[in-house]
Amino acid sequence: MKAVVQDRYGAPEVLRLEDVERPVPTEDQVLIRIHATTVTQTDTHARAARPFFWRFFAGLRRPRWRTLGVELAGEVEDVGAAVTEFKVGDHVFGGVPGFGAHAEFICLRERGPLAHKPAGISFGEAAAICDGGIQALATLRAADVRVGQRIVIYGASGSLGTAAVQLARHLGAHVTAVCNTRNVELVRSLGADEVVDYTKEDFRKNGGKYDAIIDAVGKYTFLRARRALRPGGVYVPTDLGPLMLETLVMVLATRWVGSRRAKFAMARPNRDDVLLLKELIEAGRYRAVIDRSYPLEQVVEAHRYVETWQKTGNVVLAVGDSGAR
């Protein structure tokens, strides 16, 4: 089978398409022919080992995972002897524990973060559901978002941001979404109560006080957010990047000092969240936003685009002829 592989850390050019051995499912696994996957910020961090702390997870000297990709949609090609929920030919989507979805085939456990594809959407749309959606759920839970609360989502036009706007509205929160001029109307269409164009104004100057501020892009610090939080309010960082050290200090310090808190959100692909997102999609209350789609062969170009930090929603990789359908 074809898979995108890398043997060293570096720029997108370290990626290449290679013939590798097709996996064989164990008794509790399904073999999935992947039709679509995505390129996420997580993929670009792991590929380049930036920031450096990524090496402690992905391999200190060389990549532990040769093939990236954290979410997928496709068709069941084969099943293990103990599998009962899925059969050959089923259309499925889900997240990947670790990496491995930038390939033509992958094996996943039947009871893992996997579900039947929602009806009425393409493989490309289904592939873009899990990473942003599951991360958004984790941040909203860390902030303990509830009905009637006022929250800010800073960076509301990315994969996590577009998901968080929709899911926060589903939870009954009043959402102030912060994005650039180009994405104001998109974010408003996702259900934001207020949209602030950060190129023209600072949301902190509107006098509002918020129960939670979620930084969906790793560019907004607790010290900047603090003045807009109510006593007892929570700041949740996501993509830490160069702000990691400052954020870590704030998470530790706010446990003991003051009433406002900084909290990390731990997001892991899990079956319950995949099923929740499927349910919301089929009810018309959630959708994955897609910016661009590339064929698997153009994975280098896809990584370059994601690293511009200008993508809106998700970037899809189509695997084979049916990847975008």
**Shared-domain flag, residues 243 and 136:** yes
pLDDT of residue 306: 97
Confidence tier at 323 by pLDDT (50, 70, 90): low
Note whether residue 45 is domain-resident. yes
| 44: in domain | yes
Instruction: Mark whether 124 and 136 lie in a shared domain.
Output: no
Give residue 104's identity as a one-letter amino acid code. E
Residue length of the chain: 325
Residue 15 has a pLDDT of: 98
Q: What's the token pair of residue 35?
A: 């039709």
Same domain, 61 and 165: no
pLDDT confidence tier of residue 38, bands split at 50, 70 and 90: very high
Q: Are residues 143 and 168 in the same domain?
A: yes
Q: Looking at the predicted structure, is the pLDDT value of residue 324 above 60?
A: no
The domain that holds 314 is classified in CATH as: 3.90.180.10
Determine the Cα angle at 274 with ends 128 and 183, to 5°.
Answer: 35
CA dist 180 and 156 (Å) reads 9
Judge whether 181 lies within some domain.
Answer: yes
Which residues, 6 or more positions from 143, have their beta carbon under 8 angstroms from its beta carbon? Answer: 151, 211, 212, 214, 234, 236, 263
Which among 116, 123, 119, 122 has a CA at the least distance from the CA of 283?
119
What pLDDT, in 10s, does the model give residues 231-267? 999 999 887 665 565 666 666 666 766 678 888 888 8
| Residue 32 contacts residue 108 (beta carbons within 8 Å) | yes
Domain that holds residue 313: 2-129+288-318
Q: What is the pLDDT of residue 238?
A: 84
Q: Is 136 found in the same domain as 117?
A: no
- Is 29 part of a structural domain of the chain? yes
Regarding whether 207 and 256 lie in a shared domain, the answer is yes
171 and 74 within one domain: no
Examine the domain organization and report whether 112 and 139 are in the same domain.
no
Secondary structure class of 272 (helix, strand, coil): helix
Q: Which residue, among 228, 301, 218, has the nearest Cα to 264 in the 3D structure?
A: 218
- pLDDT reported for residue 320: 83
pLDDT of residue 139: 96
Is residue 298 one of the residues assigned to a domain?
Answer: yes
Burial (Cβ within 10 Å: 0-12, 13-18, ≥19) of residue 34: buried
What CATH number corresponds to the domain at position 207?
Answer: 3.40.50.720
Taking only the tens place, the pLDDT of each residue in 277-302 is: 999 999 999 999 999 999 999 999 99
Most distant CA atoms of the chain, gap in Å: 61
272 belongs to a structural domain: no
> Does some domain include residue 169?
yes
Q: Is residue 46 part of a domain?
A: yes
CA distances from 82 to 27, 91, 94, 172, 190 (A): 5, 19, 20, 41, 41
- Amino acid 80: pLDDT: 97
Q: Based on the domain organization, do 230 and 296 belong to the same domain?
A: no
pLDDT tens per residue, range 219-234: 787 878 888 999 999 9
Please count the structural domains in the chain: 2
Q: Say yes or no: 257 and 308 in one domain.
A: no
